[in-house]
Amino acid sequence: MRVGLGMIFQNLGKERTDLEVYKSELDLADLAEPLGFDSIWATEHHFTDYMLLPSPVQFLTYMAGRTRHVNLGTMVIVVPWHNPLRAAEDVLMLDNLCGGRQIVSVGRGIAPVEFAAFDIPLPETRPLFVESAECVLEALETGVCEYDGQYVKQPRAPLRPGPFKSFRGRTYASGVSPASMPLLAKLGVGMLIVPQKPWPAIEKDLSVYREFYQQENDCPAPAPIVVGWTFVDEDPDRAESMARKYIGRYYDSTVDHYEFSNAELHKVPGYEYYQGISKKIAEVGREKFINYLVDLQVFGTPAQCLEKIEMIRARTGMETYVAVLSYGGMPAEEAERNLRLFSSKVMTTLQHDKVEVAA
């Protein structure tokens, strides 16, 4: 199994300066290649202390110059927030700089605060995502950006530097709602899974996605990538306590950032799925809902973490697990301890597992 390091740059409550957060997170990122991670991943968020990564491609370009072997993945580029031509150019430039080590994952984004600042109406997010993703993905493959849609109007433009190898097999997309599964299959991309609902529901989504993928592309769907908030400690009680604290703080900020408690959000076209989330929070209470999300993640002793990751692999068929190891205001020294223990006691076992899905 391949193992990646996910970077999110949180600064909840502004407990540190943004510069201090960047310094400590960059120190962690610099450990990824020496400790044997296969890849480094960065997501995209804007305007709040939820995550301080407005440009994952820029961060990965920085890491490209500091590494030689690790792959560099976006989780995700939110394409509705970008001019598709510029997004394709940025990706191709990084891929040329790093010698083809880039993995590209795109997404729609759902946070109202971010769409409001970009002046994009929420009802337009799904069709805008589809058109933008189609435009970018085709441009990465052909080296020419051209699209005539309802939302995206792009005259033909050659891209330089151009692609020097295919992006097929290294493009992914994130989707949470069941309605996204046929869309992702039609795009011909792999699935990037961030657990936010019960594993049986994720398995059902994957089944639908795989069926549509086969129909649309006349070949089996690629294995998914799974991202997991991870905490490991030799003491099982401490592992659970720290996971409840820091992964819990992360998910508490998630509920706020995405307005999951907003019962009106589901009335927006494309956001119908989120009615179930707001109802669940109202039914069980915020604290219980957050603990439920924490339980979907990976925490415990090294043996317990390995068992949970193997369960996830059995349910999803994943070939790559991306561990997020710093989050929720975790102190820098605790994050580094978490990363080093995970790499030495969990990651190395996963990477050398003889019964892995794929090498």
What pLDDT, in 10s, does the model give residues 187-243?
A: 999 999 999 889 999 999 999 999 999 999 999 999 999 999 999 999 999 999 999
User: CA 220 to CA 174: how far, in whole Å?
Assistant: 18
What confidence score (pLDDT) does residue 358 get? 33
Under 8 Å between Cβ of 164 and 173: no
What confidence score (pLDDT) does residue 175 get? 84
> Which residue's structure tokens are 């051209």?
146
Share of the chain above pLDDT 70, in %: 98
Mean per-residue pLDDT over the chain, rounded? 95
What confidence score (pLDDT) does residue 356 get? 40
What confidence score (pLDDT) does residue 355 get? 37
pLDDT of residue 359 exceeding 50 = no
pLDDT of residue 271 exceeding 90 = no
What confidence score (pLDDT) does residue 274 get? 80
The contacts found for 169-172 with CB under 8 angstroms, 24 or more apart, are: 169/222, 170/102, 170/103, 170/104, 171/103, 171/104, 171/105, 171/106, 171/137, 171/140, 172/76, 172/103, 172/104, 172/105, 172/106, 172/225
Work out the average pLDDT over 236-256: 97
What pLDDT, in 10s, does the model give residues 74-108?
A: 999 999 999 999 999 999 999 999 999 999 999 99
CA atoms within 13 A on the CB side of 208: 15
Under 8 Å between Cβ of 321 and 283: no
What confidence score (pLDDT) does residue 275 get? 82
What pLDDT, in 10s, does the model give residues 108-122?
A: 999 999 999 999 999
Tokens of 87: 């997004």
The CATH superfamily label for domain 2-237+300-351 reads: Luciferase-like domain (3.20.20.30)
Q: How confident is the model at residue 179 (pLDDT cuts 50, 70, 90)?
A: confident
What pLDDT, in 10s, does the model give residues 133-173?
A: 999 999 999 999 999 999 999 999 999 999 999 999 999 99
Work out the average pLDDT over 300-307: 98
Enter the pTM of the model.
0.95
Work out the average pLDDT over 318-326: 98
Under 8 Å between Cβ of 136 and 106: yes
Work out the average pLDDT over 36-57: 97
pLDDT of residue 299 exceeding 60 = yes
CB-based contacts of 123: which residues, under 8 Å, 6+ apart? 268, 269, 270
CA 260 to chain centre: 18
